[in-house]
Amino acid sequence: MAKYPRAVGERSVKLEEEIERVMQIVHGARTVRQVYNLKGKDRPPLVINTHTTRDKELLSSQVFILAVQSLARVGEISITFNESQPPLGAASAIPNSSTEIYVVIKDLVDVDTEIGKLNTQIKNLEDQIAALDKKRADPSWDTKTPAKVKEALHSKLDTINSELTIARTAVENFKKLKN
């Protein structure tokens, strides 16, 4: 019987963080592929928009690009920095707070169906915002709610608002594809 393996060398926290970033992006791209029922043979372009220079440097490395292409089953990868407009005909995901990814699916999906899905998503997000606003409107909110709960709710509200903006932009982009 072989002995249990032992770690050799020191643990690299930086490398683990980089691998975590890769896996977040791969997970986001695979989720988009699944949501839009893309075929295994389809290799859509991927646009990664980051908001930190550290991530931009990491995401631009050839090793990273090859790993994401292989694991996420995507084609060409483009890296953008602080872009405010997503590419036309792209589905989006937010793998972490400093990165958005866009899988260009315009020639791979039915536009009308996707607009319907996005409108449903927008309605759900608006309902979530209304529910959170209702909690905040309660007279006892300011006095009885712990600071951590308030902070978590504000963070959740920011995330939902970001998702809502992206979904609305995606609907507009899909409508442009129809014309």
Give pLDDT tens digits for 32-44: 888 777 888 999 9
Q: Of 174, 173, 47, which Cα lies nearest the Cα of 109?
A: 174
Global pTM value: 0.64
Enumerate helices (H) and strands (E) in the chain, giving the number of each. 6, 4
The answer to whether 129 and 157 are in contact (CB under 8 A) is: yes
User: Residue range 26-32: average pLDDT?
Assistant: 92
Question: Quick check: 101 pLDDT over 70?
Answer: yes
Other C-beta atoms lying within 10 Å of the C-beta of residue 135 = 12
Which tokens is 137 given? Answer: 């409107």
Which pLDDT band, with edges at 50, 70 and 90, does 179 fall under? low
Q: Mean pLDDT over residues 64-81, rounded?
A: 93
Average model confidence (pLDDT) for the chain? 88
The residue ranking higher by pLDDT, 157 or 1, is: 157
Nearest to 90, CA basis, from 159, 172, 179: 172
How many other CB atoms are there within 10 angstroms of residue 140's CB atom? 7
Give the C-alpha separation, 76 to 45, whole Å. 5
Q: How far apart are CA 122 and CA 116, in angstroms?
A: 10
**Taking 90 as the threshold, does the pLDDT of residue 126 lie above it?**
yes
Q: Are strands 99-104 and 90-96 parallel, antiparallel or unpaired?
A: antiparallel
% of the chain exceeding 70 in pLDDT: 98
pLDDT single digits (tens) 128-143: 999 999 988 988 888 8
Mean pLDDT across the stretch 21-34?
A: 91
List phi, psi (to 5°) of 132: -70, -40
What does the block give as tokens for 142? 């300011």
Nearest-angstrom CA–CA distance, 26 and 73: 9
Report whether pLDDT(88) > 90: no
8 A C-beta contact, residue 32 and residue 93: yes
pLDDT at 144 > cutoff 90:
no
Question: What is the Cα 151 distance to its own chain's centre?
Answer: 22
Nearest alpha carbon to residue 80 among 42, 115, 47: 47
pLDDT score for 66: 93
Q: Which of 83-92, 120-129, 146-155 is predicted with the least confidence, judged by mean pLDDT?
A: 83-92
Is residue 176 over pLDDT 80?
no
Residue 36 near residue 121, CB atoms below 8 Å: no
